[in-house]
Structure 1
Amino acid sequence: MDNATDLTHNTKQPRAYSFKQLLPWLIPVGLIIIWQIAGTLGWISTKLLPTPWSVIQDGVSLWQSGELQKNMGISLYRALVGFAIGGSVGFFFGMLNGLSKTARALFDSTIQMLRNIPHLSLIPVVIILFGIGETAKISLVTVGVMFPIYINTFHGITSVDPELIEMGQAYGLSKREMLTKIVFPGALPTILVGVRYALGVMWTTLIVAETISSTSGIGYMATNAQEFMNMKTVLLCIVIYALLGKVSDLIAKLLEDICLDWQAERSR
Structure 2
Amino acid sequence: MTLVADLPKPVPNPLAGLKLKFSGALPLLLPVSIIALWQLAASAGWISNRLMPAPVDVVLAFWDRTVSGELAVDVLASGQRAISGLLVGGSIGFLLGLANGTSKLSFSLTDTTLQMIRTVPNLALIPLVILWFGIGEEAKLFLTALGVFFPIYLNTLHGVRTVDPQLIEMGRVYGMSGWTLFRKVIFPGALPSIFVGLRFSLGIMWLTLIVAETMAASSGIGHMANSAREFMMTDVVVLALVIYALLGKLADATARFLERRTLQWHPAFQTPEKG
TM-score (norm 2): 0.92
User: How far off its partner does 1:178 sit?
Assistant: 0.7
Partner amino acid, structure 2, of 1:4: P
User: How far off its partner does 1:219 sit?
Assistant: 0.5
* 2:20 aligned partner: 17
Task: Report the CA distance shift for 1:14/1:182 in structure 2 as closer, same or farther (over 3 A).
Answer: farther
* 2:69 aligned partner: 66
User: How far off its partner does 1:74 sit?
Assistant: 0.2
Structural mapping, 1:55-134, within 5 Å: 55-134=58-137
User: How far off its partner does 1:14 sit?
Assistant: 4.0
Establish whether residue 244 from structure 1 lines up as the match of residue 247 from structure 2. yes
State the alpha-carbon separation in 1 of the partners of residues 17 and 109 from structure 2: 54
* 2:3 aligned partner: none
Establish whether residue 214 from structure 1 lines up as the match of residue 220 from structure 2. no
Task: Report the CA distance shift for 1:171/1:113 in structure 2 as closer, same or farther (over 3 A).
Answer: same
Identity of aligned residues (%): 48
State the alpha-carbon separation in 2 of the partners of residues 37 and 185 from structure 1: 50
User: How far off its partner does 1:54 sit?
Assistant: 1.0
* 2:263 aligned partner: 260
State the alpha-carbon separation in 2 of the partners of residues 148 and 14 from structure 1: 40
Please list every run of 5 or more consecutive structure 1 residues that lacks an aligned counterpart in the other structure: none
Which stretch of the first structure deviates more once superposed, 195-204 or 161-170? Answer: 161-170
User: How far off its partner does 1:267 sit?
Assistant: 7.9
Establish whether residue 193 from structure 1 lines up as the match of residue 187 from structure 2. no
Higher helix share: 1
* 2:157 aligned partner: 154
Establish whether residue 224 from structure 1 lines up as the match of residue 227 from structure 2. yes
Tell me, what secondary structure is at the counterpart of 2:120?
coil
State the alpha-carbon separation in 2 of the partners of residues 74 and 214 from structure 1: 10
Q: Which of 10, 16, 28 in structure 2 is aligned with 1:4?
A: 10
Tell me, what secondary structure is at the counterpart of 2:52?
coil
Establish whether residue 140 from structure 1 lines up as the match of residue 143 from structure 2. yes
State the alpha-carbon separation in 2 of the partners of residues 30 and 196 from structure 1: 26
State the alpha-carbon separation in 2 of the partners of residues 48 and 20 from structure 1: 35
Task: Report the CA distance shift for 1:3/1:94 in structure 2 as closer, same or farther (over 3 A).
Answer: farther
Partner amino acid, structure 1, of 2:158: H
Q: CA RMSD in A?
A: 1.6
Which stretch of the first structure deviates more once superposed, 179-188 or 37-46? Answer: 37-46
Establish whether residue 202 from structure 1 lines up as the match of residue 208 from structure 2. no
CA offsets 1:35-77 (integer angstroms, 9 cap, x no match):
1111122222223221101111111111111111001100000
* 1:178 aligned partner: 181
CA offsets 1:66-108 (integer angstroms, 9 cap, x no match):
1110011000000000000000000000001111111111111
Tell me, what secondary structure is at the counterpart of 1:151?
helix
Aligned length: 265
Please list every run of 5 or more consecutive structure 2 residues that lacks an aligned counterpart in the other structure: 1-6
Task: Report the CA distance shift for 1:266/1:23 in structure 2 as closer, same or farther (over 3 A).
Answer: closer
State the alpha-carbon separation in 1 of the partners of residues 271 and 112 from structure 2: 37
Establish whether residue 233 from structure 1 lines up as the match of residue 251 from structure 2. no
Q: State which structure, 1 or 2, has the greater radius of gyration over its C-alpha atoms.
A: 2
Tell me, what secondary structure is at the counterpart of 1:261?
coil
Establish whether residue 35 from structure 1 lines up as the match of residue 35 from structure 2. no
Tell me, what secondary structure is at the counterpart of 1:262?
coil
User: How far off its partner does 1:257 sit?
Assistant: 0.8
State the alpha-carbon separation in 2 of the partners of residues 250 and 240 from structure 1: 15
Tell me, what secondary structure is at the counterpart of 1:4?
coil
User: How far off its partner does 1:2 sit?
Assistant: 6.8
Partner amino acid, structure 2, of 1:92: L
